[in-house]
Structure 1
């Protein structure tokens, strides 16, 4: 039985046995040649085009996260400008991630028909165009609406990028390649928050958001110039019935369901913590200025390292072992951040960031390896769950902070981590049951 059907872990670099695809599922497949016939032509570290591809998708990740979370470090200033509490200002983040979650599946369907590179390029172009308008938003409602449109435009990036990698990169290099894309996310999230923090301290949040828009324009242009043309993409169908059947098949897979839930829960923690941390650090007992608060997001560099090394982590511990370690690291960081002195709070953020990015890289790469057909839809469902988790985390985390302070936000995060551990344990149990079943079958 395949890992997808048993819940067993897929070892990095191993070739998993794929279940027979139904005709409907096959129609949504990429139509790529069998792995054996294309092994020599797909990209691998050190091979032709791999470095250009990695850097291009790294820049796409930078642009995506810089735009998507461009207002997160600025929430205290936005609250002051519009005279609203954290729970309302947080919608400038939740609207963007919610728009992405809502549109990622339709955008993945477009990528099946028109190509990954085409959809990614169009998505970035629209997102940076909206980014030019965001600094001129006359009200909080207008700002939230523009951010929702921007998030919907960015929806073409995540699922299309992971599908592109699954088609164009050799299986043994897939976790590393996706880890580099996720590392670009962490650099984008970090640079966006650090830059906006210091720029906003001098010239206000509107200029700061405009600077991020300019950075995203440069990344988008470089991405399009660098990304190699796909060689293994085959256009699929846009028929709603076919798309619905593909989605249904993915949701029927117990392993994929668990991975989707894990991505959502990890992002619930991350979204809640980083939406609220600015408020906590600008208030007593820390009372830090906006520029220093923005610089706190330099801890994202830890996420860059943990995401890019996720492949080695899985190689040593297996997928479930890596997820247990990521969850434990995140939980330790949450508890450490309860301290009322700055050093343990910063160390807590380091652990939260390292655990989150490692868990995200492991789960997202597992989705790409598990889905043998309709990869863009499989990745889109993961991304949708992931960004729903971000929206929930930012709104619930801010509401908990308003009601109970930082301890309330930490409580939300701890519950989410316990969910990750429970789901991973369920996968471990399913794998053991499947192994015993296979042993009995072999004995007969």
Structure 2
């Protein structure tokens, strides 16, 4: 295989393209999160119903990724990702013309389906095209882009909603995304190591069977499930202690906490780079320590320490996700990389929904300390899975 090496023009084009694709995907996916209260007020619906604006997209995204891998094997990696970005951008523009909440939810459902084409295939494209020595660094750029995209989307939506309306905000986001999608298509190099195959349901089943029979891959799926689950739990419910004594912060200040996603992007870049020098096991241990330490610090009752705690926690999450997602490509067989990536992301987004919901039960019964107790237990479970992943295997890949 002819891999793309660090420092080459093609390498720089791949980095820029992946950053743009991540920006579009995660800006559109998470931007409505800041408007849940606005939708509840405008459409006269409960907040729980308004929150479906996020859930509809993430659920259909997770399920759709199971099928995207089969299509990409027949259509090609670049074509699939570009089509995903273009369709999603157009749907974001269409959503700005929604006149009731049901229409808006229908568009978000379609966005979830179209969004699946980028994250599921991006990991596969990178693992096929980038030299194994550099895959960790590039995966760090990709994961960092998801953090920047999520933050940028929330900022654009919030600012233009305050200045004009949420419809104008969605229109602007869609137009910006369309421009970024065009640049992505122009700059991303064509696949050199991709081998086209016909759409085959039998091959699709065989690919996922491979993804489910490798114990190390199963452990990484579990890590993804737990990592995003505890991260979403932390930021879903952190507003409850912050809005009450002794903090009593306004919603505006609480919303600014999402700026720590930018700190997380730095963590992704650095830990991705460090996978070229240190073992993934060692780096994942540090990610687990940061997750546990950051969660515990939020219990200390001081606002400055709480900010430090959630910052350290965000650093740990993005480090762990960068390591785990890059590890998938390193240990999955050549013919099963697309399927393994899709399964990882399926578990990843399912964890967001299930663990995030479970955190609300702990909050209701035990308060914030109950949430941290749950998070701590699940992070220790990540450590247990790491022991299983790190166990020597026949023909062991780089770890």
TM-score computed with the length of structure 1 as normaliser: 0.81
* Equivalence for 1:170: 131
Distance 1:416 1:139, change over 3 A: farther
Runs of 4+ aligned residues of structure 1 deviating over 6 Å after TM superposition are none
Distance 1:43 1:130, change over 3 A: same
Which string of whole-angstrom CA distances, capped at 9 and with x for unpartnered residues, describes residues 366-385 of structure 1?
11111122211111111111
Distance 1:95 1:279, change over 3 A: farther
* Equivalence for 2:264: 303
| Aligned partner of residue 36 in structure 2, secondary structure | helix
Mark the runs of 5 or more structure 2 residues left unpaired by the alignment: none
Distance 1:280 1:384, change over 3 A: same
2: CA distance between counterparts of 1:84 and 1:414? 34
Out of 85-94 and 122-131, give the one that drifted further.
85-94
Which string of whole-angstrom CA distances, capped at 9 and with x for unpartnered residues, describes residues 351-377 of structure 1?
121111111111111111111222111
Q: How much does 1:203 deviate?
A: 4.1
1: CA distance between counterparts of 2:116 and 2:336? 17
Distance 1:345 1:88, change over 3 A: farther
**Would you say 1:100 and 2:53 are equivalent positions?**
no
* Equivalence for 2:192: 231
8 Å CA contact retained: 1:199, 1:207:
yes
Match of 1:392 among 350, 354, 358: 354
TM-score computed with the length of structure 2 as normaliser: 0.89
RMSD (Å), alpha carbons: 2.6
Distance 1:92 1:393, change over 3 A: farther
* Equivalence for 1:380: 342
8 Å CA contact retained: 1:87, 1:399:
no
Distance 1:276 1:139, change over 3 A: farther
Q: How does 1:5-404 map to 2 (within 5 A)?
A: 35=1, 38=2, 42-277=3-238, 281=242, 286-372=247-333, 373-398=335-360, 400-401=362-363
Q: How much does 1:283 deviate?
A: 6.0
Distance 1:298 1:176, change over 3 A: same
Mark the runs of 5 or more structure 1 residues left unpaired by the alignment: 1-34, 439-444
Pick 1 or 2: higher relative contact order, CA cutoff 8 A, min separation 6. 1
2: CA distance between counterparts of 1:251 and 1:315? 27
8 Å CA contact retained: 2:210, 2:336:
no
Distance 1:125 1:389, change over 3 A: same
Distance 1:333 1:212, change over 3 A: farther
8 Å CA contact retained: 2:129, 2:191:
yes
The count of residues paired between Structure 1 and Structure 2 equals: 395
1: CA distance between counterparts of 2:53 and 2:95? 11
1: CA distance between counterparts of 2:324 and 2:144? 14
8 Å CA contact retained: 1:53, 1:228:
yes
**Would you say 1:424 and 2:386 are equivalent positions?**
yes
Which string of whole-angstrom CA distances, capped at 9 and with x for unpartnered residues, describes residues 219-258 of structure 1?
2121112111222211023210111011111100001100
8 Å CA contact retained: 2:221, 2:343:
yes
2: CA distance between counterparts of 1:288 and 1:217? 36
